[in-house]
Amino acid sequence: MAIEVKSSFFTKTEQLYKEKSSNISQEYLEIVDELNQLISNFNLPAAVKCVYNPTIYARYTFEMYVRKYCNTKKKIMFFGMNPGPWGMSQTGVPFGEVTSVREWLQIEGPVNKPPNEIRERPVNGFACTRTEISGKRFWGLLKNICGSPEVFFDTSFVYNYLNQQWMKSNGCNLTPGDFRASEMENLYNICDPIFVKVLKLFEVQIIVAIGKFCETRAQKALKKYMPYNNIKILYLSHPSPRTVNNNNWEEKALEQLKAHNLLEYYKKEEE
């Protein structure tokens, strides 16, 4: 059954976001839809038995994120890989741990079910009681640095390379980084040009690649599609608890942001 992906901010409060959002946010949503269309033709690896795409079934809150925070040119892109089961797959927001999205980003709304939901990975939207540690760490650090979301999004935004969460039949998470490059070549040929379109739309000057996979994809995509660019690619450790010796991620990430001279962009409003 076809899934309607367009939404139109039906309450008075949310209508304000739509009225204030720019052509940039609308163009961004169209690029996301283009990716969704293209990715539907990708032959998934045999190990992938279930796919969730929150930019479709969680379109309402995903679009809130885009229209509220991705509506101006951005100097800095924080570049992630794909949705996590207890984060974006629940809320539609990148690194979207429920409490952080609701309380700090001030985004909340209805989330539909994916077409093929599996018992081991239920989608309960903002009623989800599981905490995504990666998202809690990521947005928690930015909250501590910036104070308010507006300080962060004045210069920056978060973009995921792939809109899909992949799983085995038992719900075990799979990512593009779990497969050989040869198996992912067709995926790269779809996602790399879309990534470059997003960079051009927002006129990004600095990419903060979250994890080695994203650092590599950014390097390869720019080399192939924007060979004469002046965009900087900076590395940030991934906040996942699956990463070895990652208990002090916030401390390490703060030091990395300092070393990259990025904290100057995130001075709190009261300072």
pLDDT exceeds cutoff 80 at 119: yes
Segments forming the whole domain that contains residue 49: 18-263
pTM here is: 0.91
Task: Tell me the CA end-to-end span of the chain in Å, nearest whole number.
Answer: 52
Residues 45-58 have pLDDT tens digits of 999 999 999 999 99
Q: Average pLDDT for residues 95-106, to the nearest whole number? A: 98
Angstrom distance (rounded) from CA 72 to CA 80: 20
Residues in contact with 77: Cβ distance below 8 Å, sequence separation at least 6, in sequence order: 156, 157, 158, 159, 198, 199, 202, 204, 206, 207, 208
Residue 9 placed within a domain:
no
What sign for the dihedral angle of Cα 256, 259, 265, 268? positive
Residue 159 placed within a domain:
yes
Are β-strands 165-167 and 50-52 bridged in parallel, bridged antiparallel, or unpaired? antiparallel
Angstrom distance (rounded) from CA 110 to CA 105: 16
Lateral strand order in the sheet of 50-52:
50-52, 165-167, 173-174
pLDDT exceeds cutoff 70 at 10: no
Residues 140-154 have pLDDT tens digits of 999 999 999 999 999
Q: Average pLDDT for residues 107-113, to the nearest whole number? A: 98
Residue 44 placed within a domain:
yes
Residue 2 placed within a domain:
no
Residue 104 placed within a domain:
yes
The two tokens of residue 8 are: 């139109």
Please report, for residues 14, 63, 126, 168, 169, the alpha-carbon distance to residue 172 in angstroms, rounded to integers and kept in the order given: 35, 28, 22, 5, 7
Q: How many domains does the chain have?
A: 1
pLDDT exceeds cutoff 50 at 252: yes
The pLDDT > 70 percentage for the chain reads 91
Residue 4 placed within a domain:
no
Angstrom distance (rounded) from CA 263 to CA 255: 10
Angstrom distance (rounded) from CA 210 to CA 11: 35
Look at 83-97, 111-125, 195-209, 255-269 and tell me which has the smallest mean pLDDT. Answer: 255-269
pLDDT exceeds cutoff 60 at 6: no
The domain that holds 256 is classified in CATH as 3.40.470.10
Written as one letter, the residue type at 109 is G
If we measure between CA atoms, which residue out of 78, 194, 177, 96 comes closest to residue 136?
A: 96
Residue 154 placed within a domain:
yes
Residues 188-245 have pLDDT tens digits of 999 999 999 999 999 999 999 999 999 999 999 999 999 999 999 999 999 988 777 7
pLDDT exceeds cutoff 80 at 268: no
